[in-house]
């Protein structure tokens, strides 16, 4: 279990928590705007501290509901990360949601 949490943390650290508006499909802009604002705010407030960024996002009021709504829309509309090198559809919102739902993945000691 500990190894899974460590692997999840490093995978998510590579993604980061900030979701950019240009990473969201056009059909999801309205549903995902709260997630974009939340993740960017947490990124700015906790720069260079991935664990604190995830705690900020995951502990926000209604975060899981907002992340779920956005993630579902993103999945139904082609994914995120249109501006990366591989152009493969991804769902960064789902990765953050998974971290928030994984007990112990975002705890700060």
Domain locations along the chain: 2-101
Q: What is the pTM of this model?
A: 0.74
| Model confidence pLDDT, tens digit, residues 41-94 | 999 999 888 889 989 999 999 999 999 999 999 999 987 665 556 566 678 898
Q: C-alpha distances in angstroms, 15 versus 30, 44, 61, 66, 80?
A: 22, 15, 22, 19, 11
């Amino acid at each position: 279990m500990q190894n899974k949490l460590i692997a999840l943390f490093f995978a998510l650290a590579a993604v980061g928590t900030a979701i950019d508006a240009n990473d969201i499909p056009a059909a999801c802009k309205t549903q995902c705007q709260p997630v974009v604002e939340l993740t960017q705010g947490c990124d700015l407030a906790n720069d260079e501290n991935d664990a604190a960024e995830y705690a900020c996002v995951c502990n926000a009021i209604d975060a899981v509901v907002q992340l779920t709504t956005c993630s579902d829309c993103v999945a139904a509309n082609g994914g995120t990360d249109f501006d990366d090198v591989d152009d493969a559809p991804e769902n960064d919102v789902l990765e953050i949601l998974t971290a928030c739902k994984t007990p112990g993945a975002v705890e700060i000691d």
